[in-house]
Structure formats: C-alpha cells, structure tokens
Amino acid sequence: MQHHRRHTGSDRELTMRDVARRAGVSASTVSRVVNDDRYVGAATKLRVERAIEELGFQPNRLAQRLRHGRATETVALVIEDVANPFYSAIAEGVDSVARANRHMLILGTTRRTAQEERHVLEELLRRRVDGFLIVPSSQQHLDLYDRIARSASMVFVDRRPPGIEADAVVLDNRGSARRAVEHLIGAGHRRIAYLGGASTVHPGKGRLAGYRRALAGAGLPADDRLVRLGNHDAAAARDAAVELLAADPAPTAVFADNNRMTVGLLNAIRRTGHRVAVAGFDDLELAELLSLPLTLVTYDPTALGRRAAELLFARINGAAGPPRRITVPTTMITHEA
Amino acid sequence: MQHHRRHTGSDRELTMRDVARRAGVSASTVSRVVNDDRYVGAATKLRVERAIEELGFQPNRLAQRLRHGRATETVALVIEDVANPFYSAIAEGVDSVARANRHMLILGTTRRTAQEERHVLEELLRRRVDGFLIVPSSQQHLDLYDRIARSASMVFVDRRPPGIEADAVVLDNRGSARRAVEHLIGAGHRRIAYLGGASTVHPGKGRLAGYRRALAGAGLPADDRLVRLGNHDAAAARDAAVELLAADPAPTAVFADNNRMTVGLLNAIRRTGHRVAVAGFDDLELAELLSLPLTLVTYDPTALGRRAAELLFARINGAAGPPRRITVPTTMITHEA
DNA sequence: CTGTTAGCGCTTTCAT
DNA sequence: ATGAAAGCGCTAACAG
C-alpha cells in the first residue's frame, strides 16, 4: 500500500499519551478529563484541558468505540442516488433525527443495481454502523438483511422486501394511484396511459395495481399498449411519453408514477405540443407555476425519512416488540393551468 | 418471529477468533485469508472461507484501521442541509467520485449555524475521516480549518473562507451575475431589484457585486431599497419579493441570487399577479415549462462536487504542491414564456 | 484522586 | 505455511 505522511511533524497520530506527557499526568487521567469523569482534581483537570487545547487533540473515536464495545454512533442511509429530490428529501428527514440523537449519517448509494447494494451493505456491516435505513434496490438480499437485523437495527423506507419481518415506513401506493386515476376518469377520460419507472420494486407495483383497479372499477378496458414501464430517469420517461402520445388512438390522459416520470412527461408534452391531462405521483416544486393543469399525489417526503429514523432510534435505544409499519399519508392536489 | 435481543451486553461481537476456532486455525491465519495474503495453504484457505461464510463474519473495520494506521476510507461532505437541490447535486457528484475511489461518504450538516459547523467538524476530526469537502457556513472557524489541514485533506466547495490556503472549487459569481443583470438592462430595464440569500458568505457577496457593477456600467443609480438580502429560504424570499413588487416606483425586473430566491420570487409573482422580468442564479428543473420568461445562470452543480472530490482524492493519494483553484463554468439561458 | 495494567479486534513481525 | 506475541489508541477495573 502507500505511505503518505502529511505536512509537518511525525507519522504517528496525536494521542492521549502525548497530552498526558505534556500535562505531566497519565493517559488514564487524560481519558477521565475527556470523558468528564467526576473524580479528577480541579487543578489537574485544568492542566490537561490546556494541554489538549494547545496540542489541538481530538480523541480517536475508532479506538474509543473499539474499546468500550459497539455503538459507532453512526447510522447509514442506503438509497439509489442522492440527486433525485425524493431521496434527498428522505436524507434530510433522516439527518434531522440522526443529529437530534447525536449520530452521524453515512450515505450508501446503490446506483440501482443489486451488486452495488450488496457491496454497500457489506461494507456498512464491516463498519459496524448502529442502524440501517434502507430503500431496497432489489429483492435479492434477504440473506444480508437477515444478517443486518441480527447485529444492528434496520428499517425499510418506501419499499418492503417480501418475506422479511422488519420495521418499515411506506406510502399507500395503490390507494393513492387509484384515486388519482379515478380523478382522471371523473374528468371524462377513457384512454389513460401509464408511464412508469422501475417495475420490479414495490411502489411501482402498487401504483400500477391502483391504476388497473381504477380502470376496472369504471369498466374501462386495460390496454397494455398504454402502459410503459421500466423508465429509469426523466430522459427515458420523456422518450417513452413521446411514443405514447403518438399512439393511435392517442391517450387523452397520462398517469406518471413518480417525479422523474412526470418531469419526462411534461417535457414530452412541451416538445410535441400534444396536450393531454396529466396526473402524477410525487410533488413538483414549481407545480403551481406550470402552464398546464396537473393533478399530483403529494406527501411529505422528509416525513418518510423522519419517521423511519424515529423507528430506527427507538430500536437502537432498546425497544423490543414486533415489527412496526407506518404509512405516511398522501393528498391529491389539482393545479389549474 | 425474530428475536430482538440487542445491546444485551452478554453477546460479544463475532470475531476472527471465533472464525479461527471453527476452522481449527489461528486468528493470524484468518487475517491472512481475509486480506488475501499469498502464503496460505489452499486447503486451509478453503476451510477458513467456509467458516467465514457459515458464521456470516465481517471483519471489524474499526479494529483494522486502528491497527494499521490511518485511512478510514471515509470522506466527509459538510453542507448546510441536503434538501436544497444545490447541495444534493454536490453530494451526488462527490458520491460518484468517492465510490470510484472506494471511500464512503459521511454527511455533516450545519443548518447554517457556525456553532453546528464547529460541532460537526470536530466530530469528523475525531472520527479520523481521510478527507473533508466543506461548503463553509461561516468564516469563524479558521482555527479548525487549520487543524483539519494538518491532519487530513481538505477542499472547499462553492465558497472560500478568506485567509486560508486550500484547494477550492468555485463559480464565477461576480461575472455571471453581472452578465445576467446586463441582459436585463439590455432588454430595457432601468429599475432592477436584487433578491438575495445569505449575504455574509462569499457567493452572495460576489453576485451582489456583479449586480452593482452591471448597474454602474450602465450608469444606473444603485437604489438600496431595491436590494433585499438575508432571505434564507424560499418562503422568506417570497415575502421579501412581495414587498419589493409593491414598492413605488416598482421594479420592472428582479435578479434572484440563488435557486431558493428564484422559487420565492416566482411564487410572489404568481400570488400578486404583478409581472416583472426575472433573472436568477442556478437552474430550475422545470424552467422551460413555466409560463413566464426567465433568464437563468446555469451550470452543472454535480460538477462542483465531482471536481472538488477529484482534488481531494489527488491530495489523499499524496499529491503535493500549492493550493489549486478550479472554476466551474456557467452559461446564461433565456427561456421564453 | 491518580497511576498501572489489561485487553477491545485486528495486523504484523518473528519464529518455527 | 502457520502460530505466538506485541501493540494500534483508548477505557475500565483495580490498587493505592
């Protein structure tokens, strides 16, 4: 491997022994001062504190944790990527609760691949983080989830891998999607397309089911040519939407199953000039300023992260009991043009 | 059902000794297998690997790092919060480079307060992260920055605290803002307001300077009543903008100095119905779909994080030499209504 | 009150 | 090729 000593001074890290020497005490005394032990003489304490200050000493948390057992005071959030506002909102919610519980947040991104997810989870296991908040990218890691649950705390966010008993915070995907599509039907639409992202994971499945249920409930036929799944970003969604809009007969409305899909759809509408009614899952920051009517299933995405982190810290702090499941409520908002 | 026995002091962590016992070898041999040492018998290696597999053992990185010196293979990103798309884009860029360099990313949020920033930086120092990517929230921590530079690698992002020599990745705030305001002037505007966020940190200062320079260059008076600073989020910006638009004589154009300001301004315009020309710093995802004309200073915010992380890893990998400064280029985009 | 000692889980000589 | 032993920086008995 590589050696690289930095800047001035020696190779070795600044340690309690160095502080001890400078203050003319033993390392234990330094430790006592650092940990606010009651049994330290006032004068000694002062000398040690001055030495710490002068040297700019910070105790090594790795050594501290290694010594007195578990608890790295770190929780991990495992998501696909942090550029998507949905995930960054979750991260924000988690972060606020983590900081309130004096833990730091480590970010693991899976880039939507099962392989990366396994890699990230194993590394986090090695790092002995106290808790895992996971938005699962795949359903292939039940063995790992099991191992995680055995040595740490774990909460699933937005998606629940089937066959695992664990705390989770989710949305009512099916019901919310169904209501949005029923809204379109109520406005007179009969040919309603579905523009979807990942179809293998849970929320997509639920939303699609809600869409189908709404159609069935109104006695409308399910035309598979109007369903486009597997679009992983806004650009893919836009291209798929352009094709959808060009179908013959064309749909008069489209339901987009997440924020990336809605953005892609809106871009397709702008590009083709082909106007359709739009409903979508997730909020958009400037929704009320757009020049077209829009129905959105909205909710507080930071609450997803916040509630999940609250469940997690309850476990970390020793809560026992069966798995809990929390559903974050959604609303439907209609924006006029 | 699962058992939720946790923190029950009695259960020790799974260790190499446990694996060793099960495989009938010594801990040293397990270590050799884990670290792909050449000098291990094929049969032994197999036995050890099976024991690892069966027990679900993962080596403790804390102990590994403690033993063989520095390098926690962790870098920290210190930002105000991760909900703001500007910061989450930076995080995305950093994360992509960090993962390519086999490091994990730890997130430190300052909530825009100097106190929290100090707290976070000290904690990161204790955790011995290898590198710091910092968007400074204040200018009060030169001592800490100094200490960080001495024991780790450090790169500033978006802002450079004065009086410290370190790598940094920034934008041309002054020039970009100036060009945007000149664009408004070129369109005939004479009363141009300035809607700004934090005014104590660098980018805001530069953008304000660019605004003033553009006015001065066109021989326009600088009317302080048209300058509103210190709006820390979109809601505050909206309220300030409502007041600005109600001024007498009212501005005919407004320059918003970051994405939060632009969002607030657009909301104010929608709410009051008072139409003004808008220019803003930062891109907006749905800018081209808005129903009003808009000039934006855009750039790739993930590049800010990416380039900064590249500088950081160059240092981590031993690069010496004087501080480097990189400026990420901006463009100006005009959206018609 | 303070110092000495042992050892957290791991890696690394040094023997064999 | 493998094991024994020392020690990374720190804390927790145990003495005194």
pLDDT tens digits, one per residue of A118-130: 999 999 999 999 9
Q: Could you check: is the Cβ of residue B47 within 7 Å of any atom of nucleic acid strand D?
A: no
What does the pLDDT look like over B252-301, one tens digit per residue?
A: 999 999 999 999 999 999 999 999 999 999 999 889 888 888 999 999 99
Q: How far is the CA of A44 from the C1' of C1 (A)?
A: 10
Q: How far is the CA of A107 from the C1' of D6 (A)?
A: 36
| Residues found in chain B | 337
pLDDT(A2) > 70: no
pLDDT(A1) > 50: no
Residues of B in contact with A66 (CB under 8 A): 60, 62-63, 66
Q: Could you check: is the Cβ of residue B27 within 7 Å of any atom of nucleic acid strand D?
A: yes
What does the pLDDT look like over B14-52, one tens digit per residue?
A: 999 999 999 999 999 999 999 998 889 999 999 999 999
Amino acid B204: pLDDT? 92
Lowest-confidence segment of A100-109, B137-146, B187-196, B225-234 by average pLDDT: B137-146
Lowest-confidence segment of A242-246, A316-320, B68-72 by average pLDDT: B68-72
Q: Which nucleotide is nearest to A47 (CA to C1')?
A: C2
Amino acid A8: pLDDT? 38
Q: How far is the CA of A218 from the C1' of C9 (A)?
A: 64
Q: Do A315 and B6 touch (CB under 8 A)?
A: yes
Amino acid B130: pLDDT? 96
SS3 B204: helix
What does the pLDDT look like over B194-225, one tens digit per residue?
A: 999 987 777 999 999 999 999 999 999 999 99
Amino acid B11: pLDDT? 65
Amino acid A4: pLDDT? 35
Q: What is the pTM of this model?
A: 0.94
Q: How far is the CA of B322 from the C1' of D12 (A)?
A: 46
**Bases in strand D with any atom closer than 7 Å to a protein CB:** 1-5, 7-13
Reported as a pLDDT band with limits 50, 70 and 90, residue B2 is very low
Q: Which nucleotide is nearest to B39 (CA to C1')?
A: D1
Q: Which nucleotide is nearest to B12 (CA to C1')?
A: C8
Q: How far is the CA of A127 from the C1' of C7 (A)?
A: 21
**Bases in strand C with any atom closer than 7 Å to a protein CB:** 1-5, 7-13
Q: Do A165 and B2 touch (CB under 8 A)?
A: yes
Q: Do B2 and A91 touch (CB under 8 A)?
A: no
List Cβ neighbours of A27 (8 Å cut-off, separation of 6 or more): A16, A17, A20
pLDDT(B3) > 90: no
Shortest distance between the Cα of A293 and any Cα of chain B, in A, equals 12
pLDDT(A51) > 50: yes
Nearest to A88 among B70, B83, B302 (CB): B83
Q: Which nucleotide is nearest to A70 (CA to C1')?
A: C8
Reported as a pLDDT band with limits 50, 70 and 90, residue A137 is confident
Q: Which nucleotide is nearest to A35 (CA to C1')?
A: D11
DSSP assignments along B172-187, one per residue: -HHHHHHHHHHHHHHT
Amino acid A128: pLDDT? 96
Query: What's the mean per-residue pLDDT of chain A?
Result: 93
Nearest to B83 among A8, A92, A270 (CB): A92
Q: What is the 3-state secondary structure of chain A?
A: CCCCCCCCCCCCCCCHHHHHHHHCCCHHHHHHHHCCCCCCCHHHHHHHHHHHHHHCCCCCHHHHHHHCCCCCCEEEEEECCCCCHHHHHHHHHHHHHHHHCCCEEEEEECCCCHHHHHHHHHHHHHCCCCEEEECCCCCCCHHHHHHHHHHCEEEEECCCCCCCCCEEEEECHHHHHHHHHHHHHHCCCCCEEEECCCCCCHHHHHHHHHHHHHHHHCCCCCCHHHEECCCCCHHHHHHHHHHHHCCCCCCCEEEECCHHHHHHHHHHHHHHCCCCEEEEECCCCCHHHECCCEEEEECCHHHHHHHHHHHHHHHHCCCCCCCCEEEECCEEEEECC
What does the pLDDT look like over A140-186, one tens digit per residue?
A: 899 999 999 999 999 999 999 988 999 999 999 999 999 999 999 99
Nearest residue by alpha-carbon distance to C1' of C8: A67
Chain A 14-33 residues in 7 Å CB range of strand D: 15-17, 27-28, 31
What does the pLDDT look like over B107-158, one tens digit per residue?
A: 999 999 999 999 999 999 999 999 999 999 888 899 999 999 999 999 999 9
Q: Do B106 and A106 touch (CB under 8 A)?
A: yes
CA B186 to chain centre: 34
A197: phi then psi, degrees, rounded to nearest 5? -90, -135
Backbone conformation region of residue A321, classed left if phi is above 0, alpha if psi is from -120 to 50, else beta: left
Q: Could you check: is the Cβ of residue A35 within 7 Å of any atom of nucleic acid strand D?
A: yes
Nearest to B82 among A95, A285, A286 (CB): A95
pLDDT(B54) > 80: yes
| Sign of CA pseudo-dihedral A17, A19, A25, A31 | negative
Q: How far is the CA of B228 from the C1' of D10 (A)?
A: 52
* For residues B65-91, average pLDDT: 94
pLDDT(B6) > 80: no
Residues of A in contact with B99 (CB under 8 A): 109
Amino acid B71: pLDDT? 83
Q: Could you check: is the Cβ of residue B103 within 7 Å of any atom of nucleic acid strand D?
A: no
